[in-house]
């Protein structure tokens, strides 16, 4: 399943404004793909781990998140986790290069619906 | 040689997201104040609250238009947390409705934002005059924060002379204290101890401690300790219907406020007021409509973990841990990736939305029951 999921992600994130994306599976394995030189894949793994931890922490604080968006002044970090524990993270540009909200929302909707 | 500096220095806090305006104000007002003004600047609500937490000021001047928490919301918040504090509003476009709203919510002044040096000088003179006036007018308080009983005890123990004007729940009256003795009370046509007991039964409202003047007659001769004890006993016997009726009258007078349960009021207490403290509402009570209709929870905290303000936030400790976690993790991410500074974190809930805004050393958390959800995704909602 992982390889199909990885392929799906790579195919569906090739739209303007995406800097990098990745998946983290319940067995802690990860997949990272970068579209920008500054977002080297070897630096991305901690981000996917952070995303998973954020959802775990939200549960501990009695407020379960279904999706998170971190807004930095230069980029955005979107993440979501599925019921089976697979976590998706995606970095996008901010400002004029920012992808449309519809395309990001569609990606996350497909992520939730994806079945290998 | 004595100069103008010998007078009490005035502490004025300006809150405005326009840094250039703040810097201009600081330079000009410091000069015109002849070194008698201590000027504090805050470019957002969190910073303003942090400054107020650290030290008292004489006056807060708030810009109406600010992001995240606008001037009106900050005014309402300050009016609840610091009812004694003088507040003035600055606006770029004045209108009568907003002016009335500001004055109703505790602002002393509603001024047009100056765009010229002459205009700045006029505003300075007005604010300077406002800070000169206040000490001669006594102080204002709110019974839900400082008990009327405590004020009376302080006056009597200090053998002071004053007139305590009490307003609340549709009632208004006066208690006369002469050299530490309570000598007269009046509420409407009722005088003496029954009037005193009636005034002491008011659970939420305003009071003003005014300079003493001789009452038209002396109607009370009992010792103040006995009076307060008797009032407490009588208060317990006040029929609830009377409280409800009075509250309903007040509710009709204040369309901007909404009726709330005592539990909601207790939850809405400022962070500085302990749960078992003087907040003791009975029957229906009134709560200012501070926030948008769909807001469910508000927390302002420092990144050190101090609650600066909370409203309907029963899980404040958990929220602070979450805020701290997100902030620390963001710092880790920014260390290795070119993300820049964290501005906020938005979370989709089921249902609703939570936004945690980070500014300086503080964070503002707002949870609403509308906004992003599975049906209304996060990016679109934002």
Give B 322-361 residues with CB within 8 A of chain A. Answer: 322, 325-326, 329-330, 332-334, 336-350, 354
pLDDT tens profile B131-140: 776 544 444 4
Domain count, chain B: 3
Instruction: Please write the tens of the pLDDT for every residue from B157-182.
Output: 777 888 888 877 677 889 999 988 89
Of B11 and A116, the structure prediction assigns the larger pLDDT to B11
Tell me: pLDDT of A74 over 90: yes
Residues B72 and B121 both lie in one domain: yes
Neighbours of B382 (CB within 10 A): 16
Contact A69 B379 (CB under 8 A): yes
Q: What is the mean pLDDT of residues A88-95?
A: 94
My answer on whether B188 and B108 are in the same domain is no
- Cα(first)–Cα(last) distance of chain B, in Å? 61
Query: What pLDDT, on a 0 to 100 scale, did the predictor assign at position A97?
Result: 85
- Flag whether residue A65 sits within 8 Å of chain B, measured between CB atoms: yes
Torsion angle, CA of B89/B91/B97/B101, rounded to 10 degrees?
Answer: -20
Query: Mean per-residue pLDDT for B207-213?
Result: 80
Residue B10 has what pLDDT? Answer: 86
Q: Please name the residue that has the structure tokens 């609500």.
A: B45
What is the torsional sign of CA B44, B45, B49, B52? positive
* Helices B19-32 and B117-133: angle between axes, nearest 10 degrees: 60
**Predicted local distance difference test score (pLDDT) of residue B323:** 92
Collapse the DSSP code of A57 into the 3-class scheme (helix H, G, I; strand E, B; otherwise coil) and give the result: helix
> Helix B148-157 to helix B192-200 angle, to the nearest 10 degrees?
130
Confidence of residue B371 (pLDDT cuts 50, 70, 90): low
Query: Six-digit token pair at A42?
Result: 């070897």
CATH code of the domain containing B57: 3.40.50.2300
**pLDDT at residue number B269:** 36
Q: Among B135, B157, B191, identify where a domain stops.
A: B135
Residues B261 and B146 in one domain: yes
Percent of chain B scoring above 90 in pLDDT: 16
B213: left (phi over 0), alpha (psi -120 to 50) or beta: beta
User: How many angstroms separate the CA atoms of A100 and A66, rounded?
Assistant: 20
Query: If DSSP codes are grouped into helix, strand and coil, which group holds residue B298?
Result: strand
Q: Which residues of A touch B326 (CB under 8 A)?
A: 54, 57, 70
Cβ neighbourhood burial of B178 (10 Å; 0-12, 13-18, 19+): middle
Tens of pLDDT, residue by residue over B67-110, are 878 888 888 888 877 877 889 999 888 777 788 778 877 888 88
Q: Could you give the angle at which helices B224-237 and B192-200 cross, rounded to 10 degrees?
A: 60
Look at the alpha carbons of B322, B325, B331, B336 in this order and tell me if their dihedral is positive or negative. Answer: negative
Buried b (16+ CB within 10 A) or exposed e, B280-289: ebbbbbbbbe
| Residue A1 binned pLDDT confidence (cut-offs 50, 70, 90) | low
Q: Which of A57, A66, A69 sits opposite B374 (nearest CB)?
A: A66
Same domain as B65, residue B27: yes
Fold of A2-113: Beta-Lactamase (3.30.450)
**ipTM of the modeled complex:** 0.94
Please tell me whether residues B164 and B86 are part of one structural domain: no
A22 touches A107 (CB < 8 A): no
Q: Are residues B278 and B143 in the same domain?
A: yes
Contact call for B347 and A67, based on CB within 8 A: yes
Judge if B216 and B280 occupy the same domain: yes
Task: Please give the pLDDT value at position B165.
Answer: 86
Shared domain check, B303 and B251? no
Q: Which residues contact A81 (CB under 8 A, 6 or more apart)?
A: A51, A52, A55, A87, A88
Whole-model pTM? 0.46
Q: Are residues B172 and B312 in the same domain?
A: no
- Tokens 């602002």 found at: B107
Asked whether the predicted pLDDT for residue B281 surpasses 50, the reply is no
- Asked if residue B72 and residue B90 are part of one domain, the reply reads yes
More confident residue, B198 or B5: B198
Q: Domain range spanning residue B325? A: 291-381
Final residue before a domain boundary, out of B116, B135, B154:
B135
B129 and B147 assigned to the same domain: no
CATH of the domain at B299: 3.30.450.30
H helix or E strand, kind and range, residue B47: helix B45-54
Report the 10 Å Cβ neighbour count for B241. Answer: 9
CA distance B45 to B51: 10
Last residue of a domain, one of B111, B135, B159: B135
Distance in angstroms (rounded) separating the CA atoms of residues B215 and B45:
44
Do B260 and B316 fall within a single domain? no
- Over the stretch B25-38, which tens digit does the pLDDT of each residue have? 888 888 888 878 88
Q: What was the pLDDT predicted at B118?
A: 80
């Amino acid at each position: 399943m992982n390889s199909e999921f990885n392929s799906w992600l790579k195919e569906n994130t090739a739209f303007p404004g995406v800097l990098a994306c990745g998946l983290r599976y319940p067995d802690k394995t990860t997949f990272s793909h970068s579209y920008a030189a500054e977002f080297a894949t070897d630096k991305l793994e901690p981000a996917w781990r952070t995303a998973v931890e954020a959802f775990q922490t939200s549960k501990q604080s009695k407020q379960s998140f279904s999706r998170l968006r971190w807004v930095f002044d230069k980029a955005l970090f979107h993440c979501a986790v599925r019921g089976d524990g697979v976590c998706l993270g995606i970095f996008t540009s901010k400002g004029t290069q920012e992808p449309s909200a519809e395309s990001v929302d569609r990606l996350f909707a497909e992520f939730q619906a994806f079945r290998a | 040689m004595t100069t103008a500096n010998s007078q009490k220095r005035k502490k004025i806090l300006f809150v405005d997201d326009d840094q250039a305006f703040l810097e201009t104000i600081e330079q000009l007002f410091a000069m015109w104040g002849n070194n008698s003004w201590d000027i504090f600047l805050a470019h957002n609500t969190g910073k303003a609250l942090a400054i107020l937490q650290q030290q008292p000021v004489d006056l807060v001047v708030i810009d109406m238009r600010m992001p995240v928490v606008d001037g009106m919301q900050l005014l309402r918040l300050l009016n609840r947390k610091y009812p004694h504090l003088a507040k003035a509003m600055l606006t770029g476009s004045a209108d009568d409705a907003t002016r009335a709203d500001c004055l109703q919510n505790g602002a002393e002044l509603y001024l047009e934002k100056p765009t010229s040096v002459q205009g700045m000088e006029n505003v300075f003179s007005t604010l300077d005059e406002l800070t000169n006036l206040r000490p001669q007018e006594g102080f204002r308080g709110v019974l839900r924060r400082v008990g009327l009983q405590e004020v009376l005890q302080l006056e009597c123990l200090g053998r002071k002379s004053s007139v305590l004007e009490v307003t609340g729940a549709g009632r208004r009256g006066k208690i006369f204290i002469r050299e530490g003795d309570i000598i007269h009370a009046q509420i409407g046509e009722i005088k003496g101890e029954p009037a005193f007991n009636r005034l002491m039964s008011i659970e939420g409202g305003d009071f003003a401690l005014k300079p003493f003047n001789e009452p038209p007659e002396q109607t009370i001769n009992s010792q103040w300790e006995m009076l307060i004890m008797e009032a407490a006993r009588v208060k317990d016997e006040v029929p609830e219907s009377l409280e409800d009726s009075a509250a309903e009258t007040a509710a009709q007078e204040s369309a901007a406020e909404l009726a709330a349960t005592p539990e909601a009021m207790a939850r809405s207490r400022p962070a500085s007021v302990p749960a078992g403290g003087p907040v003791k509402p009975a029957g229906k009570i009134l709560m200012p409509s501070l926030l948008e209709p769909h807001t469910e929870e508000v927390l302002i905290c420092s990144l050190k973990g101090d609650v600066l303000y909370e409203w309907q936030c029963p899980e404040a400790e958990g929220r602070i841990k979450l805020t701290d976690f997100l902030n620390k993790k963001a710092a880790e991410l920014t260390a290795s990736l070119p993300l820049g500074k964290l501005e906020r974190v938005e979370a989709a809930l089921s249902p609703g939305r939570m936004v945690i805004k980070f500014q300086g050393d503080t964070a503002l958390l707002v949870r609403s029951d509308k906004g992003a959800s599975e049906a209304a995704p996060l990016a679109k909602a934002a």
